[in-house]
Amino acid sequence: MEKSTSKFIRSFMDYVKARDPFQKEFHQAVHEVVESIAPFLLNNPNYNQSKILERIIEPERIVQFRVPWTNDKGVVSVNRGFRVEMNSALGPYKGGLRFHPTVNLSILKFLAFEQVFKNSLTSLPLGGGKGGSDFDPKNKSDNEVMRFCQSFMTELQRHIGPNTDIPAGDIGVGGREIGFLFGQYKRIRNEFTGVLTGKGLEWGGSLIRPEATGYGAVYFAEEMMKRKGESFDGKVVCISGSGNVAQFAAEKVIQFGGKVVTMSDSSGFIHDPDGIDREKLDYVMELKNISRGRIKEYAERYGCIYKVGERPWSVKCDVALPCATENEINQEEATMLLKNGCEVISEGANMPSTPEAVHEFHKGRILYAPGKAANAGGVAVSGLEMSQNSMRINWTREEVDGRLHTIMKSIHEMCVSYGKHNNGWVNYVDGANVAGFVKVAKAMMAQGYV
């Protein structure tokens, strides 16, 4: 990297850190993007003159609010609710809600920032945002979750709308929560609109939305492999997580002829060398979505290995699909994956690899796709859900899946065109960041200093 470029990055990061010294995850996300786009900015001084970077890292608006609720015993708790409305240059704010005890402003700003570029890559008219709460849905009854969601929406409803800000799910927010949130929005506003995505099929949801993030990450990996004349057929695949993204990534890998050997949750991972087949995956889906149990129960049922408190990256595989959460692959684990022959990483989660891990993947010249490109399928189908809601029609499974596949292929092409080196190797991080950024930056320039 040229001296002037690294100086530019360093001084910009000093500025970011001085403003919000404790927002580590946000710094990490900004640093990754700034590293990719610095050469472009230095070649296009008009962007710098109009302070495009300073503006793009500053949320247009942040709302923080109190969420009081009572548990089944009548005990009152108070959680924090947030919505980060990051950027509306390309469309209304769009991004999920996360309910997890680790949620804070740094995490939500990193997620909202990533979302802006991800949404831009989908080529749909979507701005970027993110929200959530430090509420922990684990071990809560359905009624407790409902009361929490109602309290959360009672405040959030005044800040969102189908043409303003359209939340969806993320960690801890699935079909059940979206239902409770939608019900409360409709009750207060007295309107049935597409204000949330990830809705149930019978009341405005889209086919393929639950599958979209997982399928999309596999479609993206398939595109990367195709460029090298390879496919999923016969490949051993390690997946982390066992939520919505992991489940449907596993489903698509199985359909493509790969063998999924691991899944995990926050307590540990299972290793099934025989492969998680359709029947076993149905069990995982029932375990996680209906009985809401732990992945350990899979090992007890099928008699395979369970490693408590560990992540699956020590298991030998050809392809790794991190579908759990941020920073779940560190440098040591990245080195282990490479040593064991892993050649493809496609991120179903947001920022699951630490910067040191990404550095190892790049050094190893393997096929590595960052989340903002590889997991864009989820929000893309959310965008398609919004279109269907506006037109008041429902597309078929084939129609939506076909559009998802086309969008993932087009994101892959954009990454290749912006990230290809002279020797043919593609830096998908640079590709995704530059392609995502250019569109947002151009729109911001056209819209004046807003």
Which positions touch ligand GLU (CB under 6 A)?
Answer: 94-96, 168, 170, 197, 350, 378-379, 382
Residues 6+ apart with CB under 8 A from 427: 362, 419, 421
Three-state secondary structure call for residue 13:
helix
Tell the smallest beta-carbon distance from residue 372 to ligand GLU (Å).
9
| CB closer to ligand GLU out of 211 and 360 | 211
Partnered with residue 62 across adjacent β-strands are 84
Alpha-helical regions (H) of 169-295: 175-189, 209-226, 244-255, 278-289
| CB closer to ligand GLU out of 170 and 265 | 170
If you count them, how many residues does the chain have?
Answer: 450
Tell the smallest beta-carbon distance from residue 172 to ligand GLU (Å).
11
List, edge to edge, every strand of the sheet that includes 259-265: 305-308, 268-271, 259-265, 236-240, 319-322, 344-346, 367-369
Residue 138 annotated to the active site? no
Tell the smallest beta-carbon distance from residue 166 to ligand GLU (Å).
7
Residues 6+ apart with CB under 8 A from 379: 94, 95, 96, 115, 118, 119, 122, 126, 168
Tell the smallest beta-carbon distance from residue 171 to ligand GLU (Å).
8
| CB closer to ligand GLU out of 170 and 318 | 170
Reported in sequence order, the residue ranges of 89-213 that DSSP labels E, i.e. its strands, are 93-99, 128-133, 165-168
| CB closer to ligand GLU out of 337 and 379 | 379
Catalytic residue among 118, 130, 199, 252: 130
Tell the smallest beta-carbon distance from residue 244 to ligand GLU (Å).
10
| CB closer to ligand GLU out of 6 and 102 | 102
Three-state secondary structure call for residue 116:
helix
| CB closer to ligand GLU out of 108 and 254 | 108
Residues 6+ apart with CB under 8 A from 72: 141, 143, 144
Count CB-CB contacts under 10 A for residue 351.
Answer: 25
Locate 243 and state its tokens: 């939520």
Instruction: Tell me the one-letter amino acid at 108.
Output: L
Calpha distance 406→402 (Å, rounded): 6
Contact 72, 144 (CB under 8 A): yes
Tell the smallest beta-carbon distance from residue 129 to ligand GLU (Å).
8
Locate 292 and state its tokens: 């809401």
Calpha distance 336→320 (Å, rounded): 12
Residue closest to ligand GLU when measured from CB atoms: 96
Tell the smallest beta-carbon distance from residue 168 to ligand GLU (Å).
3
| CB closer to ligand GLU out of 242 and 382 | 382
Tell the smallest beta-carbon distance from residue 273 to ligand GLU (Å).
31
Q: Residues 53-59: contacts with CB within 8 Å, 24+ apart?
A: 53/12, 54/15, 55/444, 55/449, 56/87, 56/116, 56/437, 56/440, 56/441, 56/444, 57/16, 57/30, 57/113, 59/84, 59/85, 59/86, 59/87, 59/109, 59/112
| CB closer to ligand GLU out of 89 and 338 | 89
Locate 18 and state its tokens: 């001085």
Closest CA to 381 of 185, 195, 119, 161: 119
> Which positions are annotated as active-site residues?
130
